Amino acid sequence: MKLTFRLWVLIIVLILAALMISPSFEKGVIIKSVEKNSTAFNEGLRAGMVLAKVNGKPITTSHDYTTIVSPLFEKNGSVRLSIETKKDGSFIFLTERAPEITVGDIPRTKIKTGLDLSGGARALVRPANVSLSSSEINDLVAVTSQRLNAFGITDVTVRPAKDLQGNNFMLVEIAGATPTDIQDLVGKQGKFEAKVGNTSVFEGGDKDISSVCRNDASCAGVTSCFPVQTGGYACNFAFTIYLTEEAAQKHASITKNISLDSTGQYLSQKLYLYVDDQEVDSLLISSDLKGRATTQISIQGSGAGRNQEEALTEAKNNMKKLQTILITGSLPYKLEIVKLDTISPFLGKEFTRSIMLLALVVFIAVSVVLFVKYRKIKITLAVILTMFCEAFITLGIAALIKWNLDAPSIAGIIAGMGTGVNDQIVLIDEAVNDKETSSAKERIKRALFIIFGAFFTIVAAMLPLFWAGAGLLRGFALTTIIGVSVGILITRPAFADILRKLEG
């Protein structure tokens, strides 16, 4: 059968989808996160390391790791733990409890999974010592979402929740996070304040700060990296912020009475930076800024690590955190975590296994129904193949845009596949009926008109769910829209050409 242009398009898109998904057959266990200030962290274990052996025993799956480590800590007392990695050497230390790390199997593809499939942390949060109305909790959700998105977190759900007594809460879910991670992110107000002595010069938020330089190498970035005497590396960063006129005038009035230091180049007092009332850095104030209403200030900081790459990553993360707090200001309320849960990735594995089994059952059922209806094995195979092409391309697009697939997203893919089968049945019925009154081309054209009408209806129904889904419905809406769009633009035209060949 000679391939038409539409069939070539389908083949090319399938190849591109395969490249986006990038299947891998490497086996092993990877560290997904390490709690800071834990024994494992202090000994040098870091996220991204691939484990090879624990106490001399090889591990190839996360289940192997749990089976080896858990029995070691069933009794009280220190345990000698030897952890070998594939590329980063060995780590030997004494500890009284299991390493505070989360591990997972090396991903087989670039497809990212959400909280209910890959595990993570969920926190039920409320403002401390204050009761909020529904509108106030929605404002808190909006501000918190903005902060977490600014931190670059890719799979986060923040939505309002309510108990049986009518109390309002905020539910935060972050895939792949540890309880410590989620406490650090949402358990603090993130208050930023710059002081000279005990006097506040400016605070984070749009009241004092008009703009923060981000993603611009000319005014934000890592300035230097260097080895330190105690071992390891450190990297410095700097970025520019722009104060409002009011904050600039306040800076001028505070600095005009400060004397110069012995060098004459700087003021005798520094500008101290505080996050959550903890000093994070101090900056020298140039003498030419004394009493001057400057609106442009350089914020500096640093990050440290065992090697230059780790120090560079830490510096970038610290800079992003400071930039976020400066942009958004502190949260409007002091938050407390009412309930903190860790969701096991094993639950997601069971869910995935069930989905695969369901897909197999559906595949067999659809195949049988189609064969009974049309009595043609070629048409049946064409429908099934097209259905799986749509699902595969949808997964490729999800991998390309780094969308985290959760249960609703998978439901959207299934819905898209169902819509695809329905559209193909419409095409088949039009192709095999009324052969005496119209040509195959006219019949298929009529079927495509019906399909396009159904497509616009589905997209119109999904768009409100996407914009108003508060995290749960967005995945379903997005994958459904992607699935039906792939069908209408790529697989339906290709399937129509296949039908013409079969009926020709």
Same domain, 278 and 290: yes
Does some domain include residue 484? yes
| 42-54: pLDDT as tens digits | 788 887 788 989 8
- Name the residue range of residue 311's domain: 192-330
Write down the pLDDT at residue 227.
92
- Given 105, 129, 153, the domain boundary residue is 105
Same domain, 233 and 301: yes
- Given 105, 134, 150, the domain boundary residue is 105
CATH of the domain at 127: 3.30.70.3400
Split into its structural domains, the chain has a count of 4
| 67-87: pLDDT as tens digits | 888 888 877 778 888 999 888
| 11-41: pLDDT as tens digits | 999 999 998 888 766 777 888 777 766 788 8
Average pLDDT over residues 482-497: 87
Give the C-alpha separation, 44 to 243, whole Å.
40
Same domain, 164 and 69: no
One-letter amino acid for residue 42 of the chain? N
Same domain, 33 and 14: no
The helix or strand, by DSSP H or E, that contains position 226, with its residue range, turns out to be strand 220-227
Write down the pLDDT at residue 431.
66
Segments of 133-269 assigned E as strands: 156-162, 168-175, 192-196, 199-203, 209-212, 220-227, 233-243
pTM: 0.57
Radius of gyration of the chain (CA): 29
Give the C-alpha separation, 322 to 301, whole Å.
9
Inform me whether the pLDDT recorded for 188 exceeds 70. Answer: no
Inform me whether the pLDDT recorded for 225 exceeds 90. Answer: yes
Write down the pLDDT at residue 328.
66
Average pLDDT over residues 377-405: 86
Same domain, 423 and 480: yes
Same domain, 78 and 200: no
Same domain, 406 and 453: yes
- Given 343, 365, 394, the domain boundary residue is 343
Write down the pLDDT at residue 285.
82
CATH of the domain at 413: 1.20.1640.10
151 vs 46, more confident? 46
Does some domain include residue 113? no
Does some domain include residue 369? yes
Strands 404-405 and 278-283: unpaired
Does some domain include residue 52? yes
Are 53 and 59 spatial neighbours (Cβ–Cβ below 8 Å)? yes
Confidence of residue 439 (pLDDT cuts 50, 70, 90): low
Instruction: Give the CA distances from residue 478 to residues 108, 189, 363, 404, 473, in Å, rounded to whole numbers and listed in that order.
Output: 23, 32, 23, 11, 9
Average pLDDT over residues 444-465: 81
Does some domain include residue 112? no
Q: Which of 20-24, 141-145, 211-215 has the lowest mean pLDDT?
A: 141-145
* Residue keyed to tokens 């700097």: 238
Are 394 and 483 spatial neighbours (Cβ–Cβ below 8 Å)? yes
Average pLDDT over residues 250-272: 86
The C-alpha angle 434, 439, 440, rounded to 5 degrees, equals: 85
CATH of the domain at 80: 2.30.42.10
Q: What percent of the chain has pLDDT over 70?
A: 85
Same domain, 178 and 206: no
Mean pLDDT, all residues of the chain: 80
Inform me whether the pLDDT recorded for 152 exceeds 50. Answer: no
Does some domain include residue 290? yes
Q: What percent of the chain has pLDDT over 90?
A: 5
Write down the pLDDT at residue 175.
67
Same domain, 212 and 168: no
Q: Which of 6-10, 177-181, 220-224, 445-449 has the lowest mean pLDDT?
A: 177-181
Does some domain include residue 114? no
Does some domain include residue 115? no
Write down the pLDDT at residue 470.
41
First to last CA, the chain: 11
Same domain, 364 and 475: yes
Same domain, 183 and 203: no
Same domain, 208 and 178: no
What's the token pair of residue 313?
């990553």
Confidence of residue 151 (pLDDT cuts 50, 70, 90): low
Inform me whether the pLDDT recorded for 415 exceeds 80. Answer: yes
